[in-house]
């Protein structure tokens, strides 16, 4: 059994895909998170809307309560 | 009587279907969860939108507050 | 006076109807619940959308925060 | 001054009207409630949608967080 | 400085207007409230939808989490 | 660094603009607030819908959980 | 690993972009925040709707629960 937060920790410094409730995806390098909110810090992030890149962000703090799933 | 979390635990390592509030389904192997949030780790996951497979994810962390139901 | 959770407990092993916020109904045998979330375990469940059966689930864990009402 | 929960208690065994966030009304006899969630047990309940009766339920547990108002 | 709950208390037994998240207004005499939920008891209440009176309620318990504002 | 609640306190007795989640704006004199909900008391308030004044309220209690931002 | 709140703190006095759940963006100088709500104080703020500037605010308190992401 792998706990969600342990998997999140193991994903630090690697690329993850995050989908938010508004349908937007963020693809970036997981640089940090907090507990229990699951707020994330992503680096070198592409913001994807309808499979098209809308913006790039060197760094982004994503609030955890908007997240649907995180795919390491 | 079977408690929800006990049933969830008994479903570890077997295939489950998860429906989220945005109508998307995830079919995968339950690899972990946490309490009380019911965040899930799913492996070998198919993401199903309108009965069609939209994506595959080797691993996914699904936030529990988006989940409508889990069917083991 | 009958407390909601006491009535829920008295409904164990009998058929209940559950309506969720997304308008979907689940008809099944109440096999378990937890407190205070009111997550439910339903067995032999019919999923009803617009009065038509959409799916059957041998077992389902329904998250309590999606529930509008439970009718024993 | 009349506290909301004291008024609710005084309404036990009498007919109440409950409107939910999805616009549906329930008219029934208040048989129980809990604190602090304000989950209700209603008996001999008519479910009203757009001023028309849609269903009757001998007993219903209504989750408090869906309730807009209760009129004794 | 006037604290919101102190102002609410000072409004007991006088007429208030309450607007809810679903856009419906209630005009009635404030007969009670609770803390911290800000659930209200209103007497002699007019329910106003799109500036037209839709219903009258001798007594109404309004759940606080539906309230946008209260105007004494 | 200026803490949000300290700035709110410093804005007492001066005019503020408040935007709510339903898109409505309130322009009024900040007469009070509470912590941690950030419920507000506004005086001499104009209610603005689509840049047009819809109503005036001598006094208004605005629930904090509807607020998007406050501009002193 | 960089914690979200530590990154937020490091962004004080520099320009940040904040996107809210209603799709509106705020571009301003981060002047303060609080924990755990992540309410923000922004200075010299441009409010951007559909990539067009809609308003300017010398100072704005943004409630944290409306925030999707913050980009330093």
pLDDT tens-digit readout, B7-39: 999 999 999 999 999 999 999 999 999 999 999
C-chain CB neighbours of B8 within 8 Å are 61
Per-residue confidence (pLDDT) for residue C61, from 0 to 100 = 98
Per-residue confidence (pLDDT) for residue G40, from 0 to 100 = 98
Collapse the DSSP code of B6 into the 3-class scheme (helix H, G, I; strand E, B; otherwise coil) and give the result.
helix
Nearest CB to D63 within list C23, C38, C72: C38
**Beta carbons of C7 and D32 less than 8 angstroms apart:** yes
Q: What is the mean pLDDT of residues D38-66?
A: 96
Nearest CB to C41 within list B4, B64, B65: B4
Low-confidence ranges of chain G (pLDDT < 70): none
Q: What is the mean pLDDT of residues F48-63?
A: 95
In 3D space, the residue among G42, G39, G56 whose CA is nearest the CA of residue G12 turns out to be G42
With a threshold of 0.90, does the pTM exceed it? yes
Q: Please provide the average confidence, as pLDDT, over all residues in chain D.
A: 96
Q: Determine the residue of chain C that is closest to B71 in CA distance.
A: C60
Low-confidence ranges of chain A (pLDDT < 50): none
Q: Determine the residue of chain C that is closest to D45 in CA distance.
A: C71
Under an 8 A CB cutoff, do D34 and C65 touch? Answer: no
CATH classification at residue B47: 2.30.30.100
A-chain CB neighbours of B39 within 8 Å are 4-5, 38
What does the block give as tokens for B67? 């989940």
Under an 8 A CB cutoff, do G71 and A60 touch? Answer: yes
Rg of chain F over Cα atoms, rounded to whole angstroms, equals: 11
What does the block give as tokens for G2? 């960089």
According to DSSP, the β-strands at D40-49 and D25-33 are: antiparallel
Per-residue confidence (pLDDT) for residue C62, from 0 to 100 = 98
Nearest CB to G69 within list A12, A37, A61: A61
Q: What is the mean pLDDT of residues D37-53?
A: 95
Per-residue confidence (pLDDT) for residue B43, from 0 to 100 = 98
Collapse the DSSP code of B10 into the 3-class scheme (helix H, G, I; strand E, B; otherwise coil) and give the result.
helix
D-chain CB neighbours of C67 within 8 Å are 63
Type and span of the H or E element at F42: strand F40-49
Nearest CB to B68 within list C22, C33, C59: C22
Under an 8 A CB cutoff, do E71 and F63 touch? Answer: no
A-chain CB neighbours of G68 within 8 Å are 20, 22, 24, 62-63, 66
Which residue reads 């208390």 in tokens? E9
Q: Determine the residue of chain A that is closest to G19 in CA distance.
A: A62
Type and span of the H or E element at E9: helix E4-10
The pLDDT > 70 percentage for chain B reads 100
Nearest CB to B1 within list C31, C65, C66: C31
Beta-carbon-side half-sphere exposure of residue B20 (alpha carbons within 13 Å)? 24
Per-residue confidence (pLDDT) for residue D34, from 0 to 100 = 96
Task: Show which residues on chain G lie within 8 Å of chain A, measured between beta carbons.
Answer: 1-8, 21, 23, 36, 38, 64-65, 67-72
Per-residue confidence (pLDDT) for residue A24, from 0 to 100 = 96
Type and span of the H or E element at A67: strand A67-71
Supply the DSSP symbol for A7: H
Distance CA A22, CA A68 (A): 9
Distance CA A10, CA D59 (A): 49
Instruction: Write out the residue range of the structural domain in which residue E66 sits.
Output: 4-71
Collapse the DSSP code of B5 into the 3-class scheme (helix H, G, I; strand E, B; otherwise coil) and give the result.
helix
Task: Show which residues on chain D lie within 8 Å of chain E, measured between beta carbons.
Answer: 1-8, 21, 23, 36, 38, 64-65, 67-72
Q: Determine the residue of chain A that is closest to G9 in CA distance.
A: A61
**Beta carbons of F49 and F39 less than 8 angstroms apart:** no
- Number of domains making up chain G: 1
Which residues pair with residue G18 across a beta bridge? G26, G70
Model confidence pLDDT, tens digit, residues C13-71:
999 999 999 999 999 999 999 999 999 999 999 999 988 999 999 999 999 999 999 99
Residue B47 binned pLDDT confidence (cut-offs 50, 70, 90): very high
How many angstroms separate the CA of residue D1 from the nearest CA in chain C?
24
Type and span of the H or E element at G4: helix G4-10
Q: What is the mean pLDDT of residues E4-27?
A: 97
Model confidence pLDDT, tens digit, residues F21-34:
999 999 999 999 99
Q: Which residues contact C19 (CB under 8 A, 6 or more apart)?
A: C25, C67, C68, C69
**Beta carbons of D2 and E31 less than 8 angstroms apart:** yes
Collapse the DSSP code of E36 into the 3-class scheme (helix H, G, I; strand E, B; otherwise coil) and give the result.
coil
Model confidence pLDDT, tens digit, residues E24-33:
999 999 999 9
Nearest CB to G61 within list F4, F21, F65: F4
B-chain CB neighbours of A7 within 8 Å are 32, 41, 59, 61
């Amino acid at each position: 059994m792998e706990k969600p937060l342990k998997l999140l920790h193991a994903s630090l410094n690697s690329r993850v895909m995050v989908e938010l409730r508004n349908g937007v995806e963020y693809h970036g390098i997981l640089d940090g998170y907090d507990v229990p909110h699951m707020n994330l810090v992503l680096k070198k992030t592409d913001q994807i809307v309808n499979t098209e890149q809308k913006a790039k962000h060197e760094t982004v703090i994503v609030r955890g309560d908007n997240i649907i799933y995180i795919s390491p």
